[in-house]
Amino acid sequence: MKRRSLLEKVINRLAIGAGVSVFLSELRESYAAVSSGSNATTKPPRAGSRGLVSRKVTGSRYVMTYEWTDRLKRRWRSEFALDRTVYAEAVQEHHGYLGGFETAKTSRDVERFAARLAAADLITEDADRPIPRTVRFERAIEFVRSLEYMTDIDSKGVPDYVRTAEETLVDGRGDCEDLAYLLIGILSHPPFEYRTAMVILPGHMLVGVHKDDLPAAYADTPTLPGNRYVAIESVTSRPIGSFQDKPVLLIYNDGVEYVDRSAIADATGDILRNPSEFQTIADLRG
């Protein structure tokens, strides 16, 4: 089926108010149909292009070492090992937007990583000081932001590819949705256990964290439409609660939390003209 008819099928469902919760997964299917086959392999790309991630093979595992700096210039280090077969199986599976979101929230490997991240080493003279809840929260966000942003065209050679959180950890890179899924997975698991959502803007994805779960320091942070979630960018250093000046199309947790059908209708013209627009963003780091 041609790209335009696939996308119009999605748009028609939205227009009549039915099937909103499958918007993301059907749009993903449209992209998959356009792609003339993925060049994904079961071997991860070279890591550490920005000096933040190193990876080695030890027996049947990939062993990653991450180093990053938070907004207060504190330096952190963490290590994590993942079985190579887990990575290979993830690459071979088909992942939609909803599937990427749900998998990140339920993955045992991401749960293990969240625990490792909570115990990350502080590489400064303050290493023995207690780590407050706010610092742990910010440390998780800054870790994900430290990973390399790269579009799917550049990293995979296809208009759209949904990495699992495990793939992103091993690759050390991803686009806005890949990095959003990883942050969602980390924050959803112990010791964080926040209620999280994926937030869709035209051409972009954000992370939403329930306002009642945030550390006290963020109690007065502005909320997203619907007044339940606070926005967190996974690819830029915007303050928590701040995001691109674009309309919020959809907020999804276990179901649709918020939807702006008129904004979706306005955005579909751009999607029809360029289906890769969903994962293309101007990465304005710093």
Q: Do strands 196-201 and 204-210 pair parallel, antiparallel, or not at all (unpaired)? A: antiparallel
Residue 123: predicted pLDDT: 84
Count CB atoms within 10 A of the CB of residue 256.
13
pTM of the model: 0.82
Cα–Cα distances (Å) from 256 to 103, 122, 232, in that order, read: 17, 39, 18
Angle at 76 between CA 49 and CA 230, to 5 degrees: 90
Q: Do strands 196-201 and 173-174 pair parallel, antiparallel, or not at all (unpaired)? A: unpaired
Residues forming beta bridges with residue 62, ordered by sequence position: 57, 82
Residues forming beta bridges with residue 200, ordered by sequence position: 205, 250
Residues 6 or more apart in contact with residue 239 via CB below 8 angstroms: none
Residue 46: predicted pLDDT: 67
Task: Show the tokens assigned to 101.
Answer: 């979101």
> What gap in Å lies between CA 62 and CA 186, rounded to an integer?
19
> What gap in Å lies between CA 18 and CA 74, rounded to an integer?
48
pLDDT tens sequence across 107-141 = 999 999 999 999 888 886 565 666 788 989 999 99
Task: Show the tokens assigned to 193.
Answer: 């256990």
> What gap in Å lies between CA 203 and CA 126, rounded to an integer?
41
Residue 110: predicted pLDDT: 98
Nearest Cα neighbor of 167 from 273, 92, 225, 224 is: 92
Task: Show the tokens assigned to 94.
Answer: 């088909």
Residue 149: predicted pLDDT: 94
Residue 262: predicted pLDDT: 85
pLDDT tens sequence across 221-268 = 999 999 999 999 999 999 999 998 899 999 999 888 999 988 887 776
Residue 194: predicted pLDDT: 97
Cα-Cα end-to-end distance for the chain: 42
Task: Show the tokens assigned to 83.
Answer: 């079985």
Low-confidence ranges of the chain (pLDDT < 50): 1-26, 28-39, 48-49, 272-273, 275-286
Residue 128: predicted pLDDT: 60
Which phi and psi (to 5°) does residue 45 adopt? -70, 170
